[in-house]
């Protein structure tokens, strides 16, 4: 199973609903360690091909930007999931596939979360940078607003999985 990282308490709620507990139209299917409801079985999976940490970080940044920009520009709700859930699912899926690739290719010991994010961040569009914080919650519902710095910490928290148990396959 692919470890997906992250320790925020609300992540547990997303993970539980992503596994089909109490959400209409969900499934218990899991593909390569990621629940189907979180995109694990979608045909358009993040794909990594680079052979260096910087190259993989660039690919990660491009793919994460593309997926999250689609959430920002897309409908407010997809399958009863608001933008914050859609964004978290996209983040978890992209990190999980990066982690899987790093381990499969024997590169996990060469890369770390901080350096991957530093390179990936160069690929983030102005739109993502402007709206990233708002992807952390349904601001119109909760009234809470987050900024880019808080979102950055969330991404680093999830990316931390690549620094854990580097001797394990995933």
**Structure tokens that stand for 106 in this block:** 């024997």
Distance of CA 167 to the CA centre of its chain: 22
CB 71 within 8 A of CB 133: no
What are 21-48's pLDDT values in tens digits? 334 445 678 888 888 888 888 888 999 9
Query: Residue ranges of the domains in the chain?
Result: 51-163
CB 88 within 8 A of CB 64: no
pLDDT at 62: 98
- Residue 137's pLDDT band (cuts 50, 70, 90): confident
What are 42-71's pLDDT values in tens digits? 888 999 999 999 999 999 999 999 999 999
**CA 161/CA 164 separation, integer angstroms:** 5
């Amino acid at each position: 199973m692919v470890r997906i990282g992250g320790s925020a308490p609300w992540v547990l709620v997303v993970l539980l609903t992503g596994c089909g507990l109490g959400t209409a139209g969900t499934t218990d299917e899991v593909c390569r360690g990621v629940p189907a409801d979180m995109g694990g079985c979608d045909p358009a999976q993040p794909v990594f091909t680079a052979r260096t940490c910087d190259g993989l970080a660039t690919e990660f940044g491009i793919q994460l930007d593309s997926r999250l920009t689609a959430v920002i520009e897309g409908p407010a709700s997809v399958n009863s999931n608001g933008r914050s859930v859609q964004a978290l699912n996209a983040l978890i899926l992209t990190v999980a596939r990066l982690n899987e690739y790093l381990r499969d290719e024997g590169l996990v010991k060469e890369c770390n979360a901080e350096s991957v994010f530093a390179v990936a961040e160069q690929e983030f569009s102005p739109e993502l940078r402007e709206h990233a914080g708002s992807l952390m919650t349904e601001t119109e519902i909760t009234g809470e607003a987050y900024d880019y710095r808080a979102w950055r910490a969330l991404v680093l928290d999830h990316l931390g999985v690549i620094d854990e148990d580097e001797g394990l396959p995933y």
